[in-house]
Structure formats: C-alpha cells, structure tokens
C-alpha cells in the first residue's frame, strides 16, 4: 500500500512524525511524504525534519508567500501532478491549513480515499480560513480521525453518519508526540537559553490577530503588562507585521524554536498565552494553564475542565484569567486526548 502524506506547516510536521514512525514499523506500507513548502523558513520547517527523525520529504513543492486562493490553487495543480505520477492508494492529510484543503480536493477529484487526521474540529467562526479548510476537508474524506469525543459529536450533528465516511475516535496524535519526544529530550542539545526567572510562554501568529493594527497593539500591551517575564518565539508573519506597523514590543522575543525546545519551554514556563490551536493542547499535556488569545477554540474540553481561558484581546479577561491561574492548582489525572496510541489506530484503520 502506498500512502501519500501531505504536510506544509509546523504542527503538521509534528503530527506526521507520529504516524510516519508507525508506517516505518509496518511491513507492506510505503509512504510518500510531500512538503508543500507552506512554511519555508528553515526554523519553521527544516529543523523539524532533522530533529524529529522524519524522513526527508520525497517531494518539496516550494509553494508559499501567496494569497490563500493562489496558494491553494498552485498546491492543487502540483499535487495532482504528483498523484497522477505516483498513483498512491490513499492520501493522508493533517489539520486545517491550505495544504490540507489542497490535498483533500485533489484526492477527491481523482477518487483516491483520504484520511483526515484531526477531523471534526470546529471553532464555528467562518471568518477563520482554518475553519473553512477543516470543514471542506472533512466533507470529502473517507476516514475521519477524531482526536476527541467532541469532534465525533460535531460530525454526527452535521450528518456525517449519512455520508460515505468512516468516523473514528482515534485520540490525538499530538499527545502521542508529546509522550514520545519528551522522553528523548536528553538526546537533543538545547538551542534556547532558558530564562532564569519564572516566565510566561507566548505564541502569536493568527491572521485575525496580526493583520489588524489595533488588535495587534492591544495584544502587545497585554503582554507588556504581565507582571513577570514573557518569552515570545516570533513567527515570521508576526515579525513582518511588527516591522510593517512599527511595533517594538517591550518583551523578550526569540527566533522560532524546534519541537524539542518548545517542549523545554513548556516544561519550564509558568503558563501559556497563545492563539495557536496545537499549543493549547500541548500546554495541557505538560500541566500548564493556557490563556487563549482568540474569541473561540476548537478544544472546548479544555475550557470545560477549567485549564483554558478564552480571552481574545480583552485585557480585563486576561487579568481575570491570570488571577484564577495563580490561585488554582492544575487538575490531575485528566485524560482528554486518548491513550497515546492514536498513530497506531490511524494506520490500523487505513490498512484494514
């Protein structure tokens, strides 16, 4: 069996590493890894393949720095060429990026079955490009690998039991990755200077936060007013917007970090502020409260269990969340994302 795996952005490299490792352990399965090039900065892309022992992509499409429409169309054009030439038995796509949607549409039009890892997630905000990508990708996929029961519920509520699709509660491959790679920290040298004082870890990159000057300025002010050190690994998009808007934040910014160093930062920080979807879960995996700098989240179970606080760019909500975080012990023994064997379950289903 030949599986064509499509990746293009940092979270997808982490997720694919889990499933690719399972594929390498099984006989009779060949994986063709295609990197669309959506994240092309070496610190955002190449470092993950080196550090995480993912086979180097067989094909790099080098498609980036375009509008959503142009990027998705170019990816579809190139992925169709690859599929016609390599004739895979299945596509495997991850998450909610333009790379995800391009892969889903190409496979559907060529009648190649698609497995969507992280199916069923919903923010219910159609202004988010990611929401559009995940909904459309789910609709044309054969195997819908849901990380949580909430995701399963979302699909069933939308009528997927009536579609030609297979809903599977696989658990979350990000949890698999957190368990596996955190056990190997001693094998990989650190490239980040860990702050000596207690610190908050921040990531900031979503379009709704970085494209609007007023929103970005509010968020920077919030970060500057936190009464302890703040560390922000700076996404290339955010760095560009800081330069474009003439913003010079009075917080500690560092270059983007690899997955191992992100784990180190998570283990050592006091709490997390982020607009990332993946980091909300990773904070939970390592026992850290999270303040989400968005108006909604796909990971509602984190909010319902009191470990994630939805604050957007509202300074008052952030202040209230900080008070709760500092007065509340992190809950123990919460199992929200499976048993750490999601990768195995995904390959079992595809090869059945």
Q: Known catalytic residues?
A: 205
- Alpha helices by DSSP H, listed for 66-171, are 68-86, 98-109, 129-139, 149-157
Q: What is the C-alpha separation between 175 and 263, in angstroms, rounded?
A: 12
How many C-alpha atoms does 211 have within 13 Å on its Cβ side? 4
CA angle 48, 49, 52 (to 5 degrees): 70
Beta strands (DSSP E) in the chain are 2-7, 30-35, 59-60, 90-94, 114-117, 143-146, 166-169, 199-203, 229-233, 252-254, 271-274, 290-292, 308-310
Q: What is the C-alpha separation between 38 and 147, in angstroms, rounded?
A: 24
Residue 116 phi/psi, 5-degree rounding, is -105, 110
Residue 152 phi/psi, 5-degree rounding, is -60, -45
């Amino acid at each position: 069996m030949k599986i064509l795996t499509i990746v293009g952005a940092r979270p997808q490299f982490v997720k694919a590493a889990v499933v690719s490792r399972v594929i390498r352990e099984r006989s009779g399965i060949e994986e063709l890894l295609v990197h669309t090039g959506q994240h092309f900065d070496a610190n955002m892309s190449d470092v993950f393949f080196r550090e995480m022992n993912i086979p180097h992509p067989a094909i790099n499409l080098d498609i980036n720095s375009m509008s959503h429409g142009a990027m998705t169309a170019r990816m579809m054009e190139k992925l169709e060429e690859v599929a016609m030439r390599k004739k895979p038995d299945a596509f495997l796509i991850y998450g909610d990026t333009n790379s995800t949607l391009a892969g889903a549409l190409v496979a559907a039009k060529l009648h190649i079955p698609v497995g969507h890892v992280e199916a069923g997630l919903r923010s219910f905000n159609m202004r988010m490009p990611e929401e559009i990508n995940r909904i459309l990708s789910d609709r044309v996929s054969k195997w819908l690998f849901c990380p949580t029961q909430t995701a399963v519920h979302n699909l069933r509520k939308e009528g997927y039991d009536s579609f030609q699709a297979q809903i599977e509660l696989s658990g979350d491959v990000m949890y698999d990755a957190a368990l596996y790679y955190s056990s190997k920290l001693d094998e990989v040298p650190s490239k980040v200077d860990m702050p000596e004082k207690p610190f908050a870890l921040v990531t900031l990159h979503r379009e709704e936060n970085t494209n609007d000057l007023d929103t970005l300025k509010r968020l920077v002010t919030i970060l500057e007013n936190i009464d302890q050190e703040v560390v922000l690994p700076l996404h290339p998009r955010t760095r560009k917007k800081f330069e474009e808007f003439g913003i010079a934040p009075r917080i500690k910014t560092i270059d983007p970090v690899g997955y191992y160093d992100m784990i180190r930062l998570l283990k050592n920080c006091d709490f997390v502020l982020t607009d990332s979807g993946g980091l909300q879960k990773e904070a939970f995996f390592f026992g850290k409260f999270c303040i989400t700098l968005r108006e909604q989240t796909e990971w509602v179970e984190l909010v319902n269990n009191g470990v994630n606080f939805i604050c957007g760019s509202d300074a008052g909500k952030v202040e209230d969340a900080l008070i709760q975080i500092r007065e509340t012990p992190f809950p123990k023994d919460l199992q929200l994302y499976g048993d750490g064997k999601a990768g195995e379950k995904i390959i079992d289903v595809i090869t059945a």
